[in-house]
Amino acid sequence: MKIPGKELIPYWLGEKLRGAWQRYLSLKYKGTDYHCPYCGNSFKKFLPGGTDLPVLTEKMIIGGGFRDNLLCPRCFSVDRDRLIYLYLKEKTNIFSARLKILHIAPEGCIRSLLMSLPNTDYHSGVKYFEGYYYDRKVKLIDVTSLQFESESFDVVICNHVLEHVHDDQKALEEIHRILKPNGWAILQVPISDKLGETEYDPSISTPEDREKIYGQHDHVRIYGQDYPKFLERNGFKVVQYSPFHDSPQETVKKFALNPKEKLFVAYKV
């Protein structure tokens, strides 16, 4: 999550302020209508969040834009994080099997959960800290040049990362390389419900132009409906998990999931 001006605050102070703010918000929003599976708290609503840029509406970007019921007041999980939780809980053995996991650009809520599981061998890394909130224990890694042995991970979680990466082809090849046979990766991206083909133009290079054309200052493309084919061309079998069809509706409502958002999960074949 982007926090403007965060780089001006020392990390230790930011931690304290963030913790105090979250404790205050979780009391203020305490209720029963909505539930966050990461921190285990319930609320009368989640916090609003996201940006309201014209391009996000015009191109019908799923996973971007303003949402009135988005952020958990206690742990700052967002709808797509809670969608991942539901998939992990209902469709995988991640809570019980011995699995080696790589989490790229790790969201704090997902990282805390996976690190707490005694059965997992958890690794995480990110390329940039600037302007984002990551635990300082997270290592520096480059998704286009992963310094890990081939076929060494059971699971990769790479959530809203590829839209930041110029060479997403190389990133996919690297993720495919480090996965064991039958390993799987969550490769979620913001995706246009309108564009047939992915839009990518490396000449769009300033933060202002990227925000205007792609909907965020550091995004380098907008994926279109051809995204699953892109994964398939790189040796993955793609499962599109839609909680509105595949999960109890009561849970979907409590987690305040986006009705249009499907989770893209890629299995190494």
Helix (H, G, I), strand (E, B) or coil at 78: coil
In 3D, which of 267, 268, 259, 255 has the Cα closest to residue 84?
255
Q: How far is the CB of 7 from Zn ion (least distance, A)?
A: 25
If the CB atoms of residues 77 and 216 are measured against Zn ion, the closer one turns out to be: 77
Percentages helix, strand, coil for the chain (3-state, rounded to 5) are: 30, 25, 40
Instruction: List the interface residues with Zn ion, window 23-42 (CB under 5 A).
Output: 36, 38-39
If the CB atoms of residues 22 and 225 are measured against Zn ion, the closer one turns out to be: 22
The continuous run of DSSP H or E covering 112 comes out as helix 108-116
| CA–CA separation, 5 and 134 (whole Å) | 15
| CA–CA separation, 115 and 232 (whole Å) | 30
If the CB atoms of residues 77 and 198 are measured against Zn ion, the closer one turns out to be: 77
Q: How far is the CB of 109 from Zn ion (least distance, A)?
A: 6
> 32: buried, middle or exposed (CB in 10 Å: 19+, 13-18, 0-12)?
exposed
Total interface residues for Zn ion by CB under 5 A: 7
Instruction: List the interface residues with Zn ion, window 49-78 (CB under 5 A).
Output: 72, 74-75, 77
| CA–CA separation, 214 and 107 (whole Å) | 22
Q: How far is the CB of 81 from Zn ion (least distance, A)?
A: 9
Q: How far is the CB of 38 from Zn ion (least distance, A)?
A: 5
Instruction: List the interface residues with Zn ion, window 74-133 (CB under 5 A).
Output: 74-75, 77
Q: How far is the CB of 141 from Zn ion (least distance, A)?
A: 26
| CA–CA separation, 65 and 51 (whole Å) | 5
If the CB atoms of residues 36 and 171 are measured against Zn ion, the closer one turns out to be: 36
If the CB atoms of residues 37 and 63 are measured against Zn ion, the closer one turns out to be: 37
Q: Kindly give, in sequence order, each residue whose CB lies less than 8 Å from that of residue 140, ignoring residues fewer than 6 positions away.
A: 125, 126, 127
**Any contact of residue 255 with Zn ion (CB under 5 A)?**
no
If the CB atoms of residues 62 and 75 are measured against Zn ion, the closer one turns out to be: 75
The continuous run of DSSP H or E covering 103 comes out as strand 99-104
Q: How far is the CB of 107 from Zn ion (least distance, A)?
A: 11
Residues that bind Zn ion (CB under 5 A): 36, 38-39, 72, 74-75, 77
